[in-house]
Structures are given as structure tokens and as C-alpha cells.
A and B are shown apart, each in its own frame.
Chain A
Amino acid sequence: MFAFVTITIFVCMVMIMIRLFAGPTLYDRVLSLNTFGTCTVLFIGTVGLLFGRPDFLDIALLYALINFVGTIAVLKFFRYRRLGDAPETQEIATSESEAPQ
């Protein structure tokens, strides 16, 4: 049962990789990286249960956190062109008008 689920998640990961390779726009790629991270979380969970070590589930939660923060960082970077400090209102207006790719 767990083996079937693991293989299914792996097939999903391969399909996401195809979209990441082919994906025409930037947002396709950001979304596919985020979905790949989610699949990684699920894969860690099922692999832990498959090999009889369910203590890996905590680590899967940490991966979910990293995935979330990473996606936010990438998107914030493409919105404001820099990380860390807060953007100015003028810059938000200009970055909204220029459509990224």
C-alpha cells in the first residue's frame, strides 16, 4: 500500500519536473517548484512509513516550512527586486506596471 503511494508520488514528481522544464512562464516554474516541495514532504512521510520509521514525519513538517519560506522569498524577490528591507510605495507602483515575462 505504502509502496504504491510512494511510486504514485514519484510519478507526480516526474510530471512536475516536465512542467518545470517546459513551463513557458515564470509563474509556471515557481508553482511547479512549490508543488515539487509539497511532493517531497509527502514522499518523506510515505518513505518513513514504508521503511517502518515514522519518526521522519517531524522532518517532513520542517521541509514544508522551508518550502513555504523559499516560495515566499522567490516571489518577494520578483515583486520588489530585493530581499530584506521594506519596499517604498513608489517602487510597488512601478513594479506592478511592468509585467514580468
Chain B
Amino acid sequence: MELTITLLLFFALVTTAVAIALLRNLFAVVMLSGVASLLAALLFIVMDAVDVAFTEAAVGAGISSVLMLSTIALTARHEKIPTRSSLVPLAIVSLTGMVLIYGTLDMPNFGSADAPVQTHVGPEYIQRTPKEIHVPNIVTGVLASYRGYDTLGEVTVVFTAGLGVILLLGGIGRRRRRGKGQS
């Protein structure tokens, strides 16, 4: 059953990607990319990576759709029909895809118990987290305590970036509106 659902979701994901490549209406492309990231999130959930799935849904379907829509508002709604043939880009993309698939051949199978992650680091965290941190969820324990400085650094970087964007763009909007009021 799990295999069937995974295959169906992958089929829908590939269909969405082909539709994105075919469509010229950029608004529809943005909506379809939101659908693609929701499908990817569902695949992550089927693979039990719930936190990754949540990030994918929030960033892919939420933030990046809005960013793309802002870009469309500044540029154009329809894509120009390309004059040059797209065979070379297709070949490059296929080649990159094949290289990536070749790279996964050496990796251990999904969920296999003798993968290096499961034999060294995983058991250590599973044994130590309940005693040392007293958090029932081990992933939360790792992120918030063992890698606490890492998470603090990430949060600082994101906060600084957001502050910079607000200071730069917020000032522009206010000035433009004040100028409009005077004229």
C-alpha cells in the first residue's frame, strides 16, 4: 500500500512538472508550483520525515508562491514563446538527472537498518536523549539541545536578513506614498 501511494504521488509530481514546463500563463505556473511542493510534502510525510515536509509546505507553497506573485506583478503575466530550440537545455537537464541518480546508487536503501546513520549516531541519540534532555521527541531534542548553538545561529541569520529587508523595503514604500500625497 505504501509503495502504491508513493508511486501515485511521484506520478502526480512528474505530471505537475511537465504541466509547469508546458504552460505559458505564469500565474498558473505559480499555482502549479505550489501544488508541486504540496505533493513533495506528502511524499516526505509518507517517508515519515514530518518536519521536512512541514518546511517544504510552508516555504514552497506559502512564501515562495507569494514571492513569485510579487515578481509577476513587477514583470509580465505571460511567458514569451522561446525562439531557440530547447533541445540543449533538455539534454543538460537529463544528464544532470542521470548523474544525480547515479550518485544515489551507492547510498544505503531507504530505511535500511545497517546504514551508517543507524549504526553509529542514531542509537547514541536514542539512548541519551531521554536521560539527558527529558524531551519525548528525539528530533526536537537534537535540534533544540545537542545542536542548540547551530539552531541559534540559523535563527540569528534569518532574523538579521528579515530585519534588513524590512528596513530597506519598508522605507521605500513609505517614501513613495508620501511623494504621491504631495503631488
Contacts and interface: CB of A to CB of B under 8 A. Distances in A.
Interface of A: 3, 6-7, 10, 13-14, 17, 20-21, 23, 26, 29-30, 32-33, 36-37, 40, 43-44, 47, 50-51, 53, 56, 59, 62-63, 66-67, 69-70, 73-74, 77-78, 81-85, 88
B61 A74 contact: no
Given A17-B16, A21-B19, A77 B66 contact: yes
Interface string B55-76: 0011001100110011001000
Q: Is the interface of B mostly helix, strand, loop or mixed?
A: helix
Contact of A59 (B1, B12, B50, B65): B50
B111 interface: no
A88 B23 CA distance: 35
Contacts, number: 93
A10 B8 CA distance: 8
Given A26-B27, A44-B45, A74-B69, A20 B35 contact: yes
Contact of B27 (A29, A62, A83): A29
Contact of A37 (B50, B54, B58, B61): B61
Nearest to A16: B35
B5 A83 contact: no
A77 B70 CA distance: 8
Given A77-B69, A81-B73, A70 B62 contact: yes
A47 B66 contact: no
Contacts of A21: 19, 23, 28, 32
A53 B48 CA distance: 10
Contacts of A84: 173
Contacts of B54: 59, 62-63
A29 B62 contact: no
B31 A33 contact: yes
Which of B2, B31, B70: most chain A Cβ within 10 A? Answer: B31
A50 B1 contact: yes
B11 to A, nearest CB: 9
